[in-house]
Amino acid sequence: LVLSRALVIGIGKFHDARIPDCLVPVAAEARAMGELLEGLGYVVTVMHDAAEDEALVPEGDQIRAMLSKLSAPSRRSSRRRSSLQALQEKLGRLSIRHGSRSSSTSDGAGNPAPCSPPLVVVLGRGATTGSGAEGGAFIAPTDTFLDDLSGTLLPLDELRGPPDAPNVVIVDALPFVRTRMVHHTAGFASVVVGNAPKPHLQVEYSTGVKGLALHYLCRALRGHSHHAGSINLDTLCEYLAMKLTSRGLAPRTLP
C-alpha cells in the first residue's frame, strides 16, 4: 500500500506585533485542507499557529524540519526512486496522484508503481523581494521578525525539496508588510514543481484581491479538474489560470 504524503502549512499569527495577523481563519482553513486531502488518500501533516504540539507550530525551524522529514523516502519508496525520477523528469505529464487504497503495487507491465511526489500546501503571508511575482518569492513563518527579515523569512525555493526528491508546492500568500527589503506586498499564488526551472503557475495579486488560489484549489480537488484518481498539473494550472483570469488577474503559466 502506497499513500501520497502532504504537508499543509497555515500561518495566520505572528510573534512580531508589527506584522498583522491574518483576518482569514488560517488555522481552520489549514485543517479543512488537511481533511480534504486525507479524504483523497493522502497521509497529511498539518501545521498551524493554533497547534498544541510545538513541533506543528509553523516557525521557520519547525517548517524546515517537517520539509526534511517529508522529503526523506521510506524504505519502500526508496526502491521506487528510479521510477519516480523518470516520472518527475516528464513534467508535462507529471500528476499528483491520489493515494490509492488498492492492493496493487505495480503497473500493467509488472514494474513497481512510482510513489507520488510529496505535496506542500501553504496559506499565510508572503510577497516578493524583487520585481514581479517571480522576484524572490517568500512566505513568512510565525516567528518572522521585521528587523531580521533575511534571517527569518522562508524563500519559496526552500519549499521545493531536494533535487532528487522534489516537492509539488502550492502557495497562496496573503499581503505582507512593506519594508526596505519588500516592495511588492500584494501577495501571490504559485504552483511549483521542485526541479522545474520556473513555476507551473504564478500570479501576483492586485490590490484588494487575495486568497483566491486556495479557494479554487479546493474546488479542483473536490472534482472540478481531477479525473481517474489523479490531478494532472497542467490541467490544474489551466483551471486555476482560467478562474484567476475571470477575477481580473493575469496569471502566468508554463508554455
Q: What's the per-residue H, E or C state across the chain? A: CCCCEEEEEECCCCCCCCCCCCCCCHHHHHHHHHHHHHHCCCEEEEEECCCCCHHHCCCHHHHHHHHHHHHCCCHHHHCCHHHHHHHHHCHHHCEEECCCCCCCCECCCCCECCCCCCEEEEEEEEEECCCCCCCCEEECCCCCCHHHHHHHCEEHHHHCCCCCCCCEEEEEEECCCCCCCCCECCCEEEEEECCCCCCCEEEECCCCCCCHHHHHHHHHHHHHCCECCEEEHHHHHHHHHHHHHHCCCCCEECC
Predicted local confidence at residue 59, as pLDDT: 96
8 Å CB contact between 248 and 209:
yes
Please tell me the total number of residues recorded for the chain in this structure.
255
Q: What is the pLDDT along the chain (255 residues), one digit of tens a residue?
A: 344 889 999 999 999 999 999 888 899 999 999 998 888 888 999 999 989 999 999 999 999 999 988 877 654 444 444 444 443 444 344 444 433 333 334 444 444 444 567 889 999 998 876 554 445 788 999 999 999 888 899 988 889 888 777 888 999 988 888 887 776 677 888 898 877 777 888 888 876 666 788 888 888 877 644 444 456 778 888 888 998 898 888 888 876
> For residue 100, what pLDDT is reported?
34
Check residue 24 and give its pLDDT. 82
pLDDT for residue 137: 85
pLDDT tens per residue, range 55-106: 999 999 999 999 988 877 654 444 444 444 443 444 344 444 433 333 334 4
Closest C-alpha to 231, from 7, 42, 26: 42
CA 136, 179, 16: angle at the middle one, nearest 5?
100
Cell of 123: 496559506
**Cell numbers at 40, concatenated:** 483523497
Q: How many CA atoms lie within 13 A of 246 on its CB side?
A: 9
Q: For position 160, what pLDDT does the model report?
A: 87
Closest C-alpha to 173, from 140, 197, 199: 140
